[in-house]
């Protein structure tokens, strides 16, 4: 099994815990024993049971540790090392938080990249927190590990896992990718990818995703491979789906000729609010977009384009009409 598919079960669970703002411990059984991921409101605060670089080494690697002051640390203090480093002025609170985030995401990478035989959720154990607080978002850390893992795969395997041809996001996939875009806009992914030594240029990946999300663009290979491993992409363009597209086109043409309401055109119930219109349009566009029918007659492609434009106008009207 490739690394991405091995990581998928735990990754899916971490995404769900992030969405649910879960507060508790996730216990994992591995070949090397048990490990624990502790979460507070969907954010990882501790990863135990795996080896990781010492905090001091991580700080030194980035020139953020005053070695002379670090040597003055009292070894009998009950405080955790991060708080002690801040207390004696050996490192700033911000530097310690950055180093702890790097440490957490690297430990998470070890868990996601290794085989896990069982998973169990439990109430969170009490963590004796230091005077500095840190946490890393479970979704951001998981995306960073998945993209870094895909980026390390041999090119031939990555291309195979990413697949060819157009593909559409599942409804859950849309949520996951929307979250990914939000995390990147908030600046939460680039530093985590750097902590993992990833070569992927995430900005280029996300720009390609926003421009043409359904195409097998070269920059999208790590993301497409990750989405496929997670089961968040569904193939489009096959014979059966094209037949469904022709049937949908005929139905929408009839509705347009009858001057049906915007909600009917978008297949929305009468109780649906304007905020649901964009999602409905995207769902219809997966089937009706003319790019999916490039081998078809030019007049037929034009008809798909005209119909989709009419649905776009209906969506805009529904969202903007008081």
Q: Which residues contact 291 (CB under 8 A, 6 or more apart)?
A: 166, 214
- Asked which of 184, 201, 234 is the last residue of a domain, the reply is 234
Within this chain, do residues 9 and 124 fall inside the same structural domain, yes or no?
yes
Within this chain, do residues 146 and 270 fall inside the same structural domain, yes or no?
no
* Residue range 154-159: mean pLDDT, rounded: 88
Within this chain, do residues 230 and 163 fall inside the same structural domain, yes or no?
yes
- CA pair distance 290, 293, nearest whole angstrom: 5
pTM for the model: 0.68
Residue 146 has which token pair?
Answer: 């998945």
Within this chain, do residues 130 and 9 fall inside the same structural domain, yes or no?
yes
Cα 106–Cα 108–Cα 109 angle in degrees, nearest 5: 65
Q: What is the pLDDT of residue 140?
A: 92
Domain that holds residue 296: 239-320
Within this chain, do residues 87 and 29 fall inside the same structural domain, yes or no?
yes
Q: What is the pLDDT of residue 17?
A: 92
- Asked which of 202, 234, 266 is the last residue of a domain, the reply is 234
User: What integer best gives the mean pLDDT of the chain?
Assistant: 80
Say which residue, 219 or 135, is predicted with more confidence: 135
Residue 206 has which token pair?
Answer: 């996300």
pLDDT at 78 over 60: no
Q: What is the pLDDT of residue 18?
A: 92
Within this chain, do residues 119 and 59 fall inside the same structural domain, yes or no?
yes
Question: What are the φ and ψ backbone dihedral angles of 89, each rounded to 5 degrees?
Answer: 75, 20
Within this chain, do residues 147 and 54 fall inside the same structural domain, yes or no?
no
Q: Which residues contact 151 (CB under 8 A, 6 or more apart)?
A: 198, 199, 200, 222
Within this chain, do residues 11 and 128 fall inside the same structural domain, yes or no?
yes
Strands (E) across the chain are located at 24-30, 33-40, 43-48, 116-122, 136-137, 167-169, 233-235
- Asked which of 91, 122, 137 is the last residue of a domain, the reply is 137
Closest CA to 11 of 226, 261, 250, 320: 226
User: How many domains is the chain built from?
Assistant: 3
Count CA atoms closer than 13 A to 305's CA, side-chain side. Answer: 11
Residue 280: give its domain's CATH number: 1.10.287
Say which residue, 246 or 202, is predicted with more confidence: 246
* Residue range 311-321: mean pLDDT, rounded: 87
- CA pair distance 244, 292, nearest whole angstrom: 12
Q: What is the pLDDT of residue 238?
A: 46
**Torsion of the alpha carbons at 297, 303, 306 and 311, rounded to the nearest 10:** -120
DSSP string covering 272-285: --GGGHHHHHHHHH
Within this chain, do residues 12 and 129 fall inside the same structural domain, yes or no?
yes
Neighbours of 317 (CB within 10 A): 14
Within this chain, do residues 208 and 259 fall inside the same structural domain, yes or no?
no
Within this chain, do residues 133 and 7 fall inside the same structural domain, yes or no?
yes
pLDDT tens string 243-282: 777 888 888 998 999 898 888 899 887 777 777 888 888 8
Q: What is the pLDDT of residue 66?
A: 75
DSSP-derived pairing of the beta strands 33-40 and 24-30: antiparallel
- CA pair distance 218, 201, nearest whole angstrom: 12
Say which residue, 47 or 55, is predicted with more confidence: 47
* Residue range 182-195: mean pLDDT, rounded: 80
Q: What is the pLDDT of residue 37?
A: 92
For the beta sheet containing 24-30, the strands, ordered from the edge strand earlier in sequence to the opposite edge, are 116-122, 24-30, 33-40, 43-48, 136-137
125: alpha, beta or left, given left = phi > 0 and alpha = psi -120 to 50?
Answer: beta
Within this chain, do residues 189 and 287 fall inside the same structural domain, yes or no?
no
Q: What is the pLDDT of residue 57?
A: 81
Which DSSP state fits 63?
A: T
- CA pair distance 18, 6, nearest whole angstrom: 20
pLDDT tens string 106-131: 999 999 988 888 888 888 766 544 43
């Amino acid at each position: 099994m490739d690394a991405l598919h091995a990581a998928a079960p735990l990754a899916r669970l971490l995404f769900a815990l992030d969405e649910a703002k879960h507060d508790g411990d996730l216990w994992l059984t591995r070949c090397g024993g048990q490990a624990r991921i502790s979460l507070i409101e969907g954010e990882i605060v501790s990863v135990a049971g795996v080896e990781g670089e010492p905090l001091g080494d991580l700080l030194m690697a980035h020139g953020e540790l005053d070695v002379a002051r670090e040597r003055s640390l009292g070894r009998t203090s009950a405080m955790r090392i991060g708080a002690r480093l801040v207390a004696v002025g050996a490192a700033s609170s911000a530097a310690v938080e950055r180093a702890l985030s790097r440490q957490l995401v690297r430990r998470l990478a070890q868990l996601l990249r290794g085989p896990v035989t069982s998973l169990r959720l439990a109430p969170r154990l009490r963590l004796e927190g230091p005077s500095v607080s840190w946490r890393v978002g479970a979704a951001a850390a998981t995306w960073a590990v998945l993209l870094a893992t895909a980026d390390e795969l041999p090119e031939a395997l990555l291309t195979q896992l990413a697949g060819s041809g157009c593909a559409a996001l599942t409804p859950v996939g849309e949520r996951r990718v929307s979250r990914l875009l939000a995390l990147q806009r908030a600046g939460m992914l680039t530093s985590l990818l750097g902590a993992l030594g990833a070569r992927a240029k995430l900005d280029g990946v996300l720009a390609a995703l926003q421009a043409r999300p359904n195409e097998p663009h070269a920059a999208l290979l790590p993301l497409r491979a990750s989405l496929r491993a997670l089961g968040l992409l569904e193939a489009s363009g096959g014979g059966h789906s094209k037949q469904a597209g022709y049937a949908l086109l005929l139905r929408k043409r009839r509705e347009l000729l009858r001057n049906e309401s915007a909600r009917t055109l978008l297949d929305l119930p009468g109780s649906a609010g304007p905020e649901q219109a964009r999602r409905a349009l995207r769902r219809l566009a997966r089937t009706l977009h003319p790019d999916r029918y490039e081998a078809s007659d030019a007049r037929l492609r034009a008809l798909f384009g005209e119909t989709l434009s009419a649905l776009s106008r209906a969506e805009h009207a529904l969202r903007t009409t008081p």
